Chains A and B, each alone.
Chain A
Amino acid sequence: MSGVKKAARHVNQNEGVIFEKSSPGKAAWKLPPLDVPEVDASELLGAAERRDLGHMPEVSEIEIIRHFTRLSTWNYAIDLGMYPLGSCTMKYNPRVNEAVSRFDGLANGHPYQPERISQGALRILRTLSDCLLEITGMQAITLQPAAGAHGELTGILLVRAYLQKQGNPRKKILIPDSAHGTNPATAAMAGYAVENLKSNSAGMVDVAALAAQMNEDVAALMLTNPNTLGVFEQEIHKIADILHGKGGLLYMDGANMNALVGKVRPGDFGVDVMHLNLHKTFSTPHGGGGPGSGPVACKNFLEPFLPVPVIVSKADGTLGFDYDRPQSIGRVRAFYGNFGMHIRALAYIMANGPDGLRQTTEDAVLNANYIRKGLEGVYDLPYPTPTMHEVVFSDRMQSKKGVRTGDIAKRLIDYGFHPYTVSFPLIVPGAMMIEPTESESKEELDLFVDAMKSIAEECANVPDMVLEAPHSTRVSRLDEVAAARKPVLRWKPNS
């Protein structure tokens, strides 16, 4: 462990599941006295009355605080250090965003409260919409989708509704082989067949292949740009032309929009519709897997199909919701989307301003290229094409000693880092996908490069050290096969 500079071992507490602490009569709650007459639940509910809540816990407040605090110390987090999960954009989550989202009128506003006492919320939605339109260069937007994949579904439904109105919804969606799994899963949910599009040797869309595959059956191409290799699709104008020439649309998966903000706008390079991940580019916290938010921005010709409701300015100068939209694809979620995330994203945009957002993009790209330079020659770089906010290496050199990308990732944990994204994109065997984001200092990047070099040496000299990693965690590698073969998905007494 001599090569480890960033982390030291540290005592943390054991903790069982909460149910094991429960015993009758303990309580963490107290209700205020009831100011109306008591009721007889049996009389009101009859056979529908419930009398027993099974194994729900009975514990005190201090036990709950310790329980969750102990659990929390078993997690790695951005607040602890670099979290270079490629494609996930684990950037700093500013705390002022948390503070403003908890303001009473915003946190406790009911979605059905009258519009005249909802003007503050509506102004936030409108302002964020305007900012996102300027950032993307698009013309209309919905904030309703709850996450990126939900935005994809919304966007493809817009495409379908538009094509349907032209007389033919078409049959399939083209998806590059480097795409996220959500893209094909989304196409299927929108009733489309999926056709794979091969990447060329530079890791980009093979434009000749696209031209050959494009025909009147293709509704759209779902393109991530920069793609999952971190490569900007340089022939984007040709790609858009080929699609448009045959009446298809260009959908952009905005998962990597953090490489473009302030430098180039999808609306300017031929994109018809796209989603954004507010939990990636716009810093809303990932929270262990959500909530996210996946606004969908589009060109004007798709605007009539946006989900209901849309925000409109009324004659009296106030803002309101418009539900009367006969061509709408319908609603994709109850109410208006993950409003709390909209607040946070807007606070982030305000804190940055135009210059800050541009600098953020530049630093993200600078950081990724700095790592690429530092690790070139140490790990195999399957695509030498210039990259932007992330870089994908492979385990080709290390696998000769039997060490794979997943093992190297586990060893990184011992060095105090969260692993990179393992085995994705699928077009790179043994992929190691690294995205540092702008939130890392030069010192942290240097430590990361050192750690990766040190692990490469271990792969050559003491491969078992890597194969058995991590060595410093509470639990060692867990038996995932057993977990899937005989699933235990809940606690049971005496289990």
Chain B
Amino acid sequence: MRYLPKSPADREAMLRALEARSIDDLFASIPAEYRLNRELRLPAQKSEPEILEWFQKCSHENGKGLPSFLGAGAYHHYRPVIIDTIISRGEFLTAYTPYQAEISQGTLQSIFEFQTMICELTGMEVANASMYDGSTAAAEAVMMAMRVSGRRRVVIARSVHPEYREVLVTYGQHQDMPLTTVAFGANGRVDMEELDRVVGQDCACLLVQSPNFFGTIEDVPALADLAHSRGALLVLAIAEAVSLGIVKPPAEADIVAMEAQSFGVPLGFGGPYAGVIATREKYVRQMPGRLVGETRDKHGKRGYVLTLATREQHIRRERATSNICTNQALIALMANVFMTVYGREGLKALARQNLAKAAYAREHFGRHGRVLFEGAPRFHEFVLQTTENPYVINSRLLEENIVGGFPLKKFYPELGNAALWCCTETTARASIDAVAATLARAQTAGRRRPEPEPEVVR
């Protein structure tokens, strides 16, 4: 086996040193009746070219880099080449969690820089080293808010990513966490009147996403005021990190739970991504996940260590702030390189292009359908209601080698024939124009006759 650095003679010599007759002597502690006395029924050992070929075939069957208008929590942005150059260095790729600080300063300093940039972008005072993804970060942020406030009730906006809401329900199901969902108004933002009614003195936190699932930017200062007036925390989820280049940071929030995928992380069919939790300094001891801090060595030299570990499971066990151990360090490094490449001016320019592409698409698509939620600012996603079923439109687009927007019927049936469309800097004008032309045809077709619903393609 090509990954094993031993010759048969090595193995024999080692067994002799152990005074063992055969390798099975070393497995004698396994009761005989349970031993597997056959080879596993798995595909036979493959050579490198065979492995490449097998996966190449899967890759071909998995779309061919088609232009896509899908967003909905996973965004296609250009990834600068040097991201992979850097994360492919074995010293980053094949290191473990930096427990031994003296020989982990590379990982530690890069996390420290990551934490700093997340703070700069979110307006928070501290950020952790990463969480699994945006959905679990949001759930953990809510549980953190419950610890901070000592309260149990959680109010969540229905405009938060539906899968993030599902994860929160899963995490909270045995945590004595009564959950109230609030509707969105005609402008796509959280319905403030309903919110005013449901956020009471027993409320631990309000969880809102901005830009929300429909791409609408919420009024964060007003939400924070309302939450704070009842002694509750505002937990702000961000699924599209690139929005931070041009949308005001949610500095009024108490905890930010974000997904960093947009920062140079490939779509990868849904993962691995990287979540992050950022918050105010006064809440840091209730925060889950790893934290890197600056300190000095005995000669006064600057260095970095994992710190405040007494929050964590390996010290605190069942009283830890979370059970999280392994997080998403290498993905956070991708985001780190991305943020460094674009930096202060590039992120702004990048976000502007996203804004412009979506504005153009909205204008052109809006001629052949109804753009919902006008009246509040948006980033790069919008909801288009059509006369025809969006699944039918998408099937037609797929024939033209374009992946259409995300049909909302599954999660928001009340919106009817609606889909969520996303444009990023990678969306070509020609693709937008092609979709507009197809929508024009759909509009006419939809007026003529309703088509049967095709097999649902999510």
Contact = CB atoms under 8 A, between A and B. Distances in A.
Contact of B284 (A54, A134, A350, A487): A487
28 contacts: A18-B113, A29-B349, A44-B355, A45-B355, A76-B103, A105-B59, A110-B269, A112-B70, A134-B41, A135-B40, A185-B316, A189-B174, A264-B36, A265-B36, A286-B96, A290-B328, A292-B326, A331-B167, A333-B133, A366-B15, A373-B17, A418-B103, A480-B101, A483-B294, A484-B309, A487-B126, A488-B295, A489-B293
Nearest to A387: B29
Given A288-B92, A351-B46, 18 more contacts: A38-B356, A72-B92, A75-B98, A104-B64, A120-B61, A146-B136, A181-B316, A182-B314, A185-B318, A286-B94, A290-B330, A330-B170, A373-B18, A386-B26, A439-B3, A488-B293, A490-B126, A490-B127
Interface in B27-48: 27-31, 33-36, 39-46, 48
A434 interface: no
Contacts of B307: 480, 483-484, 487, 489
B246 A41 contact: yes
A85 interface: yes
A494 interface: no
B329 A113 contact: no
A114 B456 CA distance: 9
B106 A109 contact: no
Interface in A368-425: 369-370, 373, 385-386, 388, 409-410, 413, 418-419, 422, 424
Nearest to B243: A50
* Smallest CB-CB A-B distances: 4 pairs: A335-B270, A287-B330, A191-B174, A353-B45
A32 B77 CA distance: 13
Contacts of A488: 293-295
Interface in A19-57: 19, 22, 27-29, 31-32, 34-39, 41, 44-50, 53-57
A331 to B, nearest CB: 4
B452 interface: no
A263 interface: yes
Nearest to A472: B102
A65 B323 contact: no
A291 B324 CA distance: 12
A102 interface: yes
Nearest to B288: A185
A458 interface: no
Given A106-B58, A360-B4, A264 B34 contact: yes
A491 B109 CA distance: 10
Contacts of B443: none
B421 interface: no
Interface range, A side: 35 or more
A63 B333 CA distance: 16
Contact of A356 (B1, B65, B246): B1
Contacts, number: 701
Contacts of A339: 268-272
Given A330-B166, A439-B3, A483-B295, A489 B284 contact: yes
A488 B90 CA distance: 28
B13 interface: yes
Given A149-B326, A150-B136, A484-B308, A473 B92 contact: no
Contact of B457 (A116, A351, A409, A479): A116
Contact of B458 (A58, A101, A112): A112
Contacts of A28: 80, 82, 340-343, 346
Nearest to B114: A490
A352 B52 CA distance: 14
B267 A107 contact: yes
B115 A489 contact: yes
Interface string B315-352: 11111101111111111010001011111111111101
B438 interface: no
Contacts of A474: 102, 105, 301, 303
B327 A48 contact: no
A288 B51 contact: no
B290 A289 contact: yes
